[in-house]
Amino acid sequence: MPPKIRGMTANLTSQSSSLRRFTLMVSGEDAIDSGLDQNIPPSGLPQERYLLGDRLPIAPVLLLGQSDLVVNPNEIIACLQPVHFHATRDHLILMAQSQIDLTEDESARLLQVALPFIEEDFGSKVLFQGQRDWFIPAGPFASLATHSIDQAHGRNIDWWMPRDTNEVGIAKLWRKLQNEIQMLWHIDPVNEERAQRGLLSINSLWISGIGKLADVQIPELLKGATQIYGTHLLLAGLANHLGIPQQSEIDFSKLSNAFAWLDRPESIWRDLSKALLTQELHEIEIIDFPKGQVRHRILTVKDLNKKSWAFWKKTEPFTWKEIISA
């Protein structure tokens, strides 16, 4: 059997200065059935909740991850993203941003067309325009319940569209603005040019991540890291917020007390195992989210190989698939 889950103790988030530990977080899926009784989608992906807390102020953290702006910690910010809705026979599906190949120039041109409508309805100026993400004070839309594209993509958008919370009519106000922008972009030269290149049209605008920086609840484990690895802009934003170095690629000479969130964690498992064997690391902590719930496990060198009753046979190492499926 792969290494069993060890009990949750204070050791998981407080390390002695002599203990060399590397923490690897693995993305999970939301517990999709958790809101079926109330017909409400689950709030956030488990890794989003773990890193930011239950209020999920994704927008201000993403803003920190791609700009040098000084972010007012008490200003409620929204993230706007140009997207493609794919039409099926009876519903629309939100496509991931990685599937639409939006260029920086296209993003700027689309925003220029939509900007008067956006700033009029939000009552504010856009704070920052990234290639895929635009940020603006949420204003009248501050109370909307929303979901990130990472959570909602590939699914029927009917269930994932913004919803009213404590103020009725805000979702309707958003849909009105969204429809206006959809009509503008439908006849925009950007989409005509994209069609000629065989690319998906940019046919709608998504809103998500509404929140303020003061509501971020960062886990103590991440606060204590000396290095952060991974490509997700949430990591870049948190690293900026905490003043911790962050980079996309792992430096295997700097594993101790580092935190990583990677798209392909299996690609580094052999190197991490080697680091345990050579005592460059004492422990590897794996954080994953079975059934949407956070789980911590600590692995040491003795957990790398399968146990065998045939003591004379050479033991075999666990594969990454075996480790993560335990």
Domains in the chain (CATH in brackets) are: 10-29+220-324 (3.40.50), 55-215 (no CATH)
User: Which tokens hold the place of 245?
Assistant: 């170095």
Output the pTM of the full model.
0.89
Sequential pLDDT tens for the chain (326 residues): 454 434 333 344 444 456 899 999 999 988 765 555 556 788 899 999 999 999 999 999 999 999 999 999 999 999 999 999 998 888 899 999 889 999 999 999 999 999 999 999 999 999 999 999 999 999 999 999 999 999 999 988 888 999 999 999 999 999 999 999 999 999 999 999 999 999 999 999 999 999 999 999 999 999 999 999 999 999 999 999 999 999 999 999 999 999 999 989 999 999 999 999 999 999 999 999 998 899 999 999 988 887 755 555 566 788 889 888 87
CA dist 111 and 81 (Å) reads 10
User: Which tokens hold the place of 139?
Assistant: 């204003």
Phi-psi region at 244: left, alpha or beta (left = phi > 0; alpha = psi -120 to 50): beta
CA dist 281 and 290 (Å) reads 26
Specify the pLDDT at position 24. 97
Amino acid at 66: Q
Q: Which residue spans within 100-239 are E strands per DSSP?
A: 128-129, 134-137, 204-211, 227-229
